[in-house]
Structure formats: C-alpha cells, structure tokens
Amino acid sequence: MLDLKVDSSWTLFLDRDGVINQRNFEGYITSVDDFIFLPQAIEGLKLLSQQFSKIIVVTNQQGIAKQIMTEQTLNEIHQHMIDTLKNEGVSIDKVYFASNLKGAENDRRKPNNAMALEAKRDFPGIDFKRSVMVGDTSSDLIFGMNLGMKTVLIQSEEKVDITPDLTVKHLNELANVFNK
C-alpha cells in the first residue's frame, strides 16, 4: 500500500489513454467521438483535483507522425477533455504530448523525460519527488521512476513488467487511497 501524505505541494502526472479515457488497443483515438471517459475517471479526478496542486497530462501520440491524425485534431480532442472536466470542477493545468515516432532522434515519448522537464520549466514549483505518475503501461511507470516520482498502475489489458508503488482499478480508487 502506498502510504503518502499528499498535500497541495504535490503534482499529479497522468497518462491519457487507459487512465482518463478508454484506450483503443487496435489503434488511436482520432476524433472527439472516439474519446470516451473511463468509468469513475471523472469522479476520481474531482477528488484528486482537491488533493494535488497541479494535474499534468503526459501522453504519447505517435499517430500524428504516422499521419493517422493531425495535431489540430489532437488539440481538439484535448480541448474536449479539458472542457468536459472543467464543467465537472476539474482543472487540468496542461497537456503535454509526444507526437514523434518511437525511436526518433529527439524522442519525447515516455519513458523519456522530455515532457516532464517541459512541465517543470512551465511550472517551476514542480518537485518530482513530490509527484505521482499514473499510467497503464510499463513506459508510464519507467517515466515516473526515472524522475523519482511515486508510480501508480491503472489495471488494463496491457501487460506490464514493472512493479509500481500502487496498483488500482481506476482513478476513483486512487483518490480514495489518498483521501484516507
């Protein structure tokens, strides 16, 4: 069990697909219509937004480099997510995405730390030792571990070979762990 006293100095880093919305294991989320919130994600984010000072989304989106979707479409999907959550009282501070192909020369994709370092530049108060990374893949967990974050795995069909600090079924379960 993860025994943390999270307060307003902590930052929550979230993967997107498989954590906030349903993941398409056959491909990519390429439109607003494809973006479906996971059960209990919004409820969990409501609680988590009261517990953490910042909520940052970090997501690998190589569908742009593969020309399956455009950056404009991705921005529309993210704006839909942000607006829906805002209507529920949840503020996402910023969404960072890696649009490059896996293994590109300047690879921003998780588990590389480029998106986290960009977030730290934008929000200098972020302390990775006082941050939690929530994801559903090994690369999400390695990303968090490499930066000294606590790691949480959202269980899914994904095969994960890394041991996180905590495993939960959904964001609402995570919020309840921190709410104790």
CATH number of the domain to which 113 belongs: 3.40.50.1000
Active-site residue flag, 17: yes
CA–CA distance, 18 with 25 (Å, rounded to integer) = 9
Q: Is 154 a domain residue?
A: yes
- CA distances from residue 2 to 26, 54, 142, 147 in whole angstroms, order as listed: 33, 20, 17, 18
Q: Domain for residue 85, yes or no?
A: yes
pLDDT reported for residue 14 = 98
Supply the range of the domain harboring residue 86: 11-173
The dihedral over CA atoms of 178, 150, 122, 137, expressed in degrees to the nearest 10, equals -100
Residue 180 maps to a domain: no
CA-wise closest residue to 54 among 120, 105, 113, 153: 120
In a domain, 51, yes or no: yes
Catalytic residue, from 7, 17, 33, 165: name it.
17
Q: Which two tokens stand for residue 112?
A: 């590389």
Residue 70: what pLDDT? 97
Number of Cβ within a 10 Å radius of residue 25: 10
pLDDT at 143: 98
Each residue's pLDDT tens digit, 125-162: 999 999 999 999 999 999 999 999 999 999 998 999 99
- Domain contains 2: no
34 is catalytic: no
5 within a domain of the structure (yes/no)? no
Q: Show the low-confidence residues of the chain (pLDDT under 50).
A: none
CA distance linking residue 143 with residue 93, whole number of Å: 19
In contact, 139 and 17? CB cutoff 8 Å: no
- The answer to whether residue 6 is domain-embedded is no
In contact, 107 and 100? CB cutoff 8 Å: yes
Sort 58 into a burial class: Cβ within 10 Å, 0-12 / 13-18 / 19+. Answer: buried
Answer whether 0.85 is exceeded by the pTM.
yes
Helix extents (H) in 29-179: 41-51, 71-87, 114-122, 138-146, 171-178
Give residue 3's pLDDT: 67
User: Pick the catalytic residue: 3, 15, 93, 136?
Assistant: 15
Instruction: Tell me if 67 is assigned to some domain.
Output: yes
Task: Give the number of domains in the chain.
Answer: 1
**Helix 71-87 and helix 41-51, axial crossing angle in degrees, nearest 10:** 70
